[in-house]
Amino acid sequence: HYLDLGASLIVIKGTRDGTSGHTRTGSWLQPNFPVAVVDTVGAGDGFATGLISAHLDGLDLPACLRRAAAVGACAVTSSGDKDGLPDRRQLAALLETECHERELVS
């Protein structure tokens, strides 16, 4: 619907299956990272931070979704809205251990 209204990118986060990104040329699914949830406060902010920073780093959509999901997952592993956010080294380590990108069948 939103693509038909002119949006170039739609991102849907926080579903049971993970995060999805949709453009006019395709759709991608990033499964959730398995983490022990301590507090969900800050998950959305972490997700947005990951998505925006990946976009600013010039990553493609699947990599942007992967970073966003990883940062959001880290955010829920501790109390508060920012204590669980990873630095670049921690983020790289998490992304190296988890390979969850897959393209959806259109």
Give me the active site residues, please. Answer: 45
Length of the chain: 106
Alpha-carbon distances of 10 from 4, 22, 31, 45, 81, rounded to whole Å: 11, 5, 16, 17, 25
Question: 42-68 as b/e, with b when 16 or more CB fall inside 10 Å?
Answer: bbeebbebbbebbbeeeeebbbbbbbb
Residue 31: both structure tokens together: 């499964």
